[in-house]
A = this chain, B = another copy of it.
Amino acid sequence: MLHTPGIMRAKKAPTADLTVLERLRTAGLRPTRQRLALAKLLFAQGHRHVTAEGLFNEAKEHRVDVSLATVYNALHDFTEKALLREISIDSSRSYFDTNVGDHYHFYFEQSGRLQDIPAERIALANLPEPPDGVVARVDVIIRVKD
């Protein structure tokens, strides 16, 4: 007996899906259909830098039915739970980075693309202490005219 497409879709998820589901649960986020689909797009392959609009379009290409508002909600929810980090590079839009570890960036102004630079590739010495408060993050952005 052949299984129907409908049943196939509901079948127990393969490893990658389970991982994503666990990630959401661990973060305290309900693994809804929308979040699971977006998380799969975001975390399936290596590290990525996406915009809300970009992820929204990617979802459409993959026949993931999700609203733009939900993409924004998910990106922010993921960021709050440290599954993503937000990067301000261009005042016109926000980027979200699936690499939440310590690292820096090349920013290619022409294309708007971001590329990771591992933390150990740059020696940042003598970082001054702020006069008040605590350092939340140190951003290094090498802007490239390409």
Interface size of A in residues (CB-CB distance below 8 Å): 39
A105 vs B27: C-alpha distance when bound (angstroms): 32
- Give every chain B residue within 8 A of A117 (Cβ-Cβ): 128
Interface residue SS majority, chain A: strand
On whether the beta carbons of B127 and A142 are closer than 8 Å, the reply is yes
In the complex where A91-B91, A135-B144, A144-B136 touch, is A123 in contact with B121 (Cβ < 8 A)?
no
Q: For window 79-132 of chain A, which residues contact chain B by CB distance below 8 Å?
A: 86, 88-94, 106, 108-110, 115, 117, 121-128, 130-132
Copies of this chain held together in the complex: 2
A106 vs B135: C-alpha distance when bound (angstroms): 9
- Give every chain B residue within 8 A of A7 (Cβ-Cβ): none
On whether the beta carbons of B133 and A122 are closer than 8 Å, the reply is no
- Give every chain B residue within 8 A of A145 (Cβ-Cβ): 133-136
Seen from chain A, the residues whose Cβ lies within 8 Å of a Cβ on chain B are: 86, 88-94, 106, 108-110, 115, 117, 121-128, 130-146
